[in-house]
Amino acid sequence: MRKYLLSTSALAGAALLSTAAIADVSITGSVEWEMISGDTDFATTDGTSMATNNEVMIDFTNKTDSGLTITYNMDIDGDAGAGIDDNSMSISGGFGKIVVGQTDGVSDAYTIHGAGLVAEEHGMSITSGVSNVDADNTIMQSTGAQLTGNTNKISYYLPAMGNLVAGISYQDSGASTSTDLTEFGAQYTMETGAGAVTLAYTTATQEAATTDSDSSTIGAQIVMNGVTIIANQATLETAGEDQTGNSIGASYTLPNGITLAASTMKAEDDIAAEVGEEYTANHYEMVYPVASGLSAVFTVTDYDYKVGTGSDASSKTADSGTISSFMLKASF
């Protein structure tokens, strides 16, 4: 009788497994170790230091009988004191793709900016956690997307319409608050005989009791014969901020796999309390492929931060200098 019950249980379990969804699992990781040398006006970044950035990415993917693709993504930050970075689910099909959870929105997905060509750029002391500029400083540092991040939201990406892709994201601030965030983004790619040209636009609005916050980016990318060129402009208007940033960058991959990249950017704040606040940075980088999955990265950044003549200048500190770094990157 006992053998019969065990056999019956085994058959039942096998039947359940045959009907249950069995996902494909992908586990990847990356390790970055960096030696940094700074010659700057700010004590926190003046000198040498070491840093690490380690991540583990886990993806579960399942395809349903109805043709949907369901994916769960978890991005774990492996550094001490860190935690889960991205944690989201996506559902995609002929209707496009829906993404829910703690992850970036369409602003991050579709923004093109020049500093993005230099993967390991450094800059002013804000990177060390000392806030010379205000907390909303992305435009000041890179002219990248604003107002968004790895927060709980829902995004919808339209199915590709020819060479056009677009999407919208929404973040609810909670039942008792009124700081909801809405993002829009789109990219259009034109194929040419020798390469491609991509145009990108993003905009985001975060509600507030008095003054809403608005940010936008517009960029263009040209890829041709191993050369990539990017130019963009970003803006941010919010309470106490009226920032505009411009950047341009270029990269070239040599036949032996070495990639050379450089970018320059400038951002300024024109609001009365911070009039004259200005940040400029030049980034230079070489990526040398040591072996499959292993590369060495050499980066140099020259930057200059001026506090301006506004009434807020007294609470900030001017900063300038050069930061050089050597990094070993491995991917698994």
Q: What's the one-letter identity of residue 319?
A: D
Domains of the chain: 27-331 (2.40.160.10)
Residue the block writes with tokens 């929404």: 170
| Cα angle 187, 189, 191; round to 5 | 175
End-to-end CA distance of the chain: 50
Q: How would residue 193 be classed by pLDDT, with cut points 50, 70 and 90?
A: confident
pTM for the structure as a whole: 0.84
C-alpha to C-alpha distance for 218 and 205, rounded to whole angstroms: 15
Summarised one tens digit per residue, pLDDT across range 64-119 is 999 999 999 999 887 766 678 889 999 999 999 999 999 999 999 999 988 888 87
Residue the block writes with tokens 């320059």: 264
pLDDT at 3: 43
